[in-house]
Structure 1
Amino acid sequence: MVEIPDIKDRYSLEAWLEGQPPEVSVWIASRAAARALPVWWYAVLTERWARDRDLTALPALHNVSISSVAAVMPTDEIRFAANAARAAAKAARAVSSAYAADAANAARAAANAGRAAAYPADAANTVRAVATYAADAVDAVRNVLARAADQTVWRDTRTDAEQVSEGRLRDALPLWPGGQNPFQKKWSQIKAQVAASPDAGDWQFWIDWYDAQLAGRTMLPDPARTWDMLEQIALIKPATWDAGPEVVNPRIREIWESYRGKVPRELEILQAADDGVVLGYNVETDRFYQEDIKAENQSRLQTAVAKLNEVRLLVGQMGNLQGVLTSEIFLIDRAVQDHPENATMVFFNTKAARGLLQANIENGSCPSPQSEPVIGLLDTMLFDTQNTLLLEPSVQEGLKARAEDSSLLDSPESLKALEDAADEIAEVSEGALADELSENAKKAKDPYQPRAVRVNALISTVSAVVQSWVIARCARFKTALEELDDITVRTARISKNLAITIGAGGPVLYAAVQVVTNSPKVEAAIKAIIALF
């Protein structure tokens, strides 16, 4: 019998899946197809052969999304809808095969996800057939990434398999659990093109849906409501889907907005830019300031910080390897030296440092644990630190919504706007906010920094800029914050700070707030954040 560690090619995967319920195969197929989806979407936006035939991303999006629903809700209605959807994906694959192998393989993965979702539950060979479709979907992704990335594909597939080994499908799991997204550049370009298109609003659901897939979070704070929404979208009449994005996307948008309510986009961004930091406004000094959200379990946090200090001492004894680990140590130092009481920052900086270490081992920039055992010890210590904080409530909240990456990092103009706004806000701030804001903006903008460092710096910059914007417009946002369905510790603190500010007479006449309210630079940064973050 094939075990999860034995999954190393399509045949071993297929053999393992034959011992699982069909829904597991559908889930594996859906996640594989989702990984390759940007390749198809990018092709239909940029390639002439696709534009000449009016091809869109919709067939692939439809098949991947409906297969994810079918894994969780394997009803006859969903299977019927999936069966109606797969014909379009199959046709898209046939057209692209003559022009672009990568796009054809991405469409092949989507078509196989649709076939797995549509297969009759009561057929004699259901388990074997669905396992074959799932294995073919994963193999298609391997072809897109080329043979050099075999280990990445099978490592992530094994991780997927581990999540269902106890018989339960996860509501959400990062799409690339083993490392960075190899299609991030394409995804950033897709988002930029969609944001600039005249029908950007109608495509925004799909942008947010895929961002949630990448980050490993549900689209709505409540997983059950998310699945209800996705089921309703999946069951839109086939004729409406077949009419194309001009017809079905507005209907999808209508359903989505009915579930989202009227939450301002700025508040959604604050949930995605969770760094465990809350801004306030000091009426007496006319300055913005920041404070860390204290850990619920101080002993747990102190244990994690102590482990990171041990990591720092270990690296200090590693001679020439210190230079290789400069970025990892920067992330650790920012947490334990500047924010030792902030469990969210300690956790996510540790997570980023470990991800960076693993990526450097994989690309050869850092020695492997086999050649340098101390590297393996370092990785284990970082992993243990993460696990120490997993049960902290603020960390759990961050894992639900925090962005894993952002297209802002691929837009120099937007990063310049963000840096300009950060500099202005820093000038009317005090304490750690004044010291860190401009530095974070510069780190995010610097293309020579590792992506993990830039993502963390960007999240902190976006968090500060948007929070200062919310404070400056406190009357507008206070009610919206109070009406949020899912009040986290952080949003409750932001709401409390706004109430204190309003209770003190409001900040509208103060110079620091006027800078944020009237600054064209801050307004430009907010527009860029809303469009691309």
Structure 2
Amino acid sequence: MRAEEIKDANSLQAWLESLPQGTEAERETARRWAVTIAHRAAMRVLPVYWKASIGRRARYQNYNTIAVLRCNLLSELLGGNLDRRIVPVALDASRSATKAHRAGSAARATLNSAVVSISDRTVLSYAVRDSVKLASRRERFLWNALNQDITVADLVFEQENLAADLRSLDLWHVNNSENRETAAWNSGKSKILAQGEGWRFWVEWYENALYGRPQDYALLTKIALIDPADWDKGADHVNALIQRIVEQHTLARDARALKAEISQLKERLQSVEHRSHNNPPEMVDETVAAQKEVTIIWAALEEAAQELEKPDPDPTVLARIGAFLETASVTIAKYCGALADLAVKTSVRTAAATGTAMALASQSEHLRAFGEALLQFAKSLGAP
């Protein structure tokens, strides 16, 4: 069956059932692509629901926007390499959202893509149909976008490129600046953000999907695995938790990046030390001292990264490390100045010494900024 022949739920189901299923790899790829196609259909109409949930008539409907967003997030994750922890969470999320919501087809279309993540292709095909019917005036346009998704999937199977990922393509396969649905989203997102800073994560997440930008799936998984009891407490509560998770995840990522930079700086200092046998004793002493300080800083960053990977990091530990790094940044800046002064006074202006002084200056500022951010995060967790 050719992609352009798929125009309704029945033809979509027939295509899904025709996907190669001979090997375990083919079955997993078929599952992944089937779920992703349903997810992308739901994501195309999500702004219709989202806009209605903050409209003038919203008070007359029992909208549960955070539950619908949660389901779409889960179905996105289930369209990737399957994390078994997500499956029971997705089922629970779908049941909870369905019970809490009575807003009609908009809710059903956005919820069903999570239900079908367990590979029920019949339910999946009708979930896509509901998504298309939701935007009936644009029905043909929506089927065209889905046809293009399927064209890409067919090429993947023909080329046996089973690692390919449809999620790296924009939702509409067209110039988004000329797309009417994208224009509507751009005009409506300011109203979403006006509800509070806690909605920024959701807006950025949706725009990453809209434009085919890379998603941080490790971060999304952490958010998806928030305790169901917390999701049931509503958007304000969950969005506050998400802000904390995003901040903690970002700090952990920055700690790892700084560690890599510090490792390179250690190598630079070792190189300067090895080449400094003909240099004045003062320069050798400063280089050795800086090398020791950088080694201590690397250990502190390692400790910070490990603590930040914990579900509940100790704020007193983070505060101690943050304060140390702020102080260490000043010390590193002094070593930078000392090396530069000695190079000028002794006419030792080697490329290695000059480059190392510049690297020390750069790392000093990075450490200061990271130490300050870590300290502020620790205080938000209750550190004195």
Range class of TM-score, shorter chain: 0.5 to 0.7
Amino acid at match of 1:214: L
| Partner of residue 339, structure 2 | none
Which residues in structure 2 correspond to 1:336-375 (within 5 Å)?
Answer: none
| Partner of residue 103, structure 2 | 96
| Partner of residue 393, structure 1 | none
| Partner of residue 134, structure 1 | 124
| Partner of residue 196, structure 1 | 194
Amino acid at match of 2:127: A
Do the aligned partners of 2:113 and 2:124 also contact (CA within 8 Å) in 1? yes
Question: Aligned equivalents of 1:54 and 1:145: distance in 2?
Answer: 20
From the superposition, tell whether residues 72 and 229 of structure 1 become closer, same or farther in structure 2 (CA, over 3 Å). Answer: same
Which residues in structure 2 correspond to 1:129-528 (within 5 Å)?
Answer: 130-146=120-136, 148-165=137-154, 166=156, 167=162, 168-178=164-174, 180-197=178-195, 200-219=196-215, 226-261=216-251
Question: Aligned equivalents of 1:83 and 1:248: distance in 2?
Answer: 19
Amino acid at match of 1:239: A
Question: Aligned equivalents of 2:73 and 2:144: distance in 1?
Answer: 23
Deviations 1:491-525 (A, max 9, x none): xxxxxxxx9xxxxxxxxxxxxxxxxxxxxxxxxxx
Give the SS at the match of 1:76.
coil
Question: Aligned equivalents of 2:247 and 2:52: distance in 1?
Answer: 29
Question: Aligned equivalents of 1:241 and 1:156: distance in 2?
Answer: 32
Deviations 1:285-306 (A, max 9, x none): xxxxxxxxxxxxxxxxxxxxxx
From the superposition, tell whether residues 194 and 5 of structure 1 become closer, same or farther in structure 2 (CA, over 3 Å). Answer: closer
Give the SS at the match of 1:113.
helix
Amino acid at match of 1:69: L
> Given the alignment of the two structures, is residue 28 of structure 1 paired with residue 37 of structure 2, yes or no?
yes
Deviations 1:203-239 (A, max 9, x none): 10001001111111024xxxxxx11111111111111
> Given the alignment of the two structures, is residue 84 of structure 1 paired with residue 92 of structure 2, yes or no?
yes
Question: Aligned equivalents of 2:189 and 2:249: distance in 1?
Answer: 23
From the superposition, tell whether residues 196 and 154 of structure 1 become closer, same or farther in structure 2 (CA, over 3 Å). Answer: closer
Do the aligned partners of 2:110 and 2:131 also contact (CA within 8 Å) in 1? no
Question: Aligned equivalents of 2:66 and 2:168: distance in 1?
Answer: 22
**Structure with max Cα Rg:** 2
Aligned-residue identity in percent: 30
Do the aligned partners of 2:219 and 2:246 also contact (CA within 8 Å) in 1? yes
| Partner of residue 322, structure 2 | none
Unpaired segments ≥5 residues, structure 2: 20-29, 157-161, 254-357, 359-384
Which residues in structure 2 correspond to 1:44-55 (within 5 Å)?
Answer: 44-48=53-57, 50-52=58-60, 55=63
Give the SS at the match of 1:183.
helix
Question: Aligned equivalents of 1:186 and 1:60: distance in 2?
Answer: 19
Amino acid at match of 1:73: N
Deviations 1:422-474 (A, max 9, x none): xxxxxxxxxxxxxxxxxxxxxxxxxxxxxxxxxxxxxxxxxxxxxxxxxxxxx
Amino acid at match of 1:190: G
Do the aligned partners of 2:62 and 2:100 also contact (CA within 8 Å) in 1? no
Tell me the CA shift for residue 171 of structure 1: 4.2
Task: Give the RMSD, CA atoms, in angstroms.
Answer: 2.7
Deviations 1:384-426 (A, max 9, x none): xxxxxxxxxxxxxxxxxxxxxxxxxxxxxxxxxxxxxxxxxxx
Amino acid at match of 1:188: N
Amino acid at match of 1:187: W
Do the aligned partners of 2:192 and 2:199 also contact (CA within 8 Å) in 1? yes
Do the aligned partners of 1:156 and 1:176 also contact (CA within 8 Å) in 2? yes
Give the SS at the match of 1:177.
coil
Do the aligned partners of 2:64 and 2:97 also contact (CA within 8 Å) in 1? no
Question: Aligned equivalents of 2:44 and 2:138: distance in 1?
Answer: 13
Question: Aligned equivalents of 2:212 and 2:96: distance in 1?
Answer: 27
> Given the alignment of the two structures, is residue 71 of structure 1 paired with residue 67 of structure 2, yes or no?
no
Deviations 1:18-72 (A, max 9, x none): 2332222211111011011011111110143x32556342122111111010111
Give the SS at the match of 2:123.
helix
Deviations 1:331-385 (A, max 9, x none): xxxxxxxxxxxxxxxxxxxxxxxxxxxxxxxxxxxxxxxxxxxxxxxxxxxxxxx
Amino acid at match of 1:16: W
- The alignment's TM-score, normalised by the length of structure 1, stands at 0.41
Amino acid at match of 1:61: L
| Partner of residue 442, structure 1 | none
Question: Aligned equivalents of 2:62 and 2:110: distance in 1?
Answer: 19
Unpaired segments ≥5 residues, structure 1: 98-103, 120-125, 220-225, 264-498, 500-533
| Partner of residue 5, structure 2 | 6
Do the aligned partners of 1:109 and 1:136 also contact (CA within 8 Å) in 2? no
Give the SS at the match of 1:46.
coil
| Partner of residue 51, structure 2 | 42
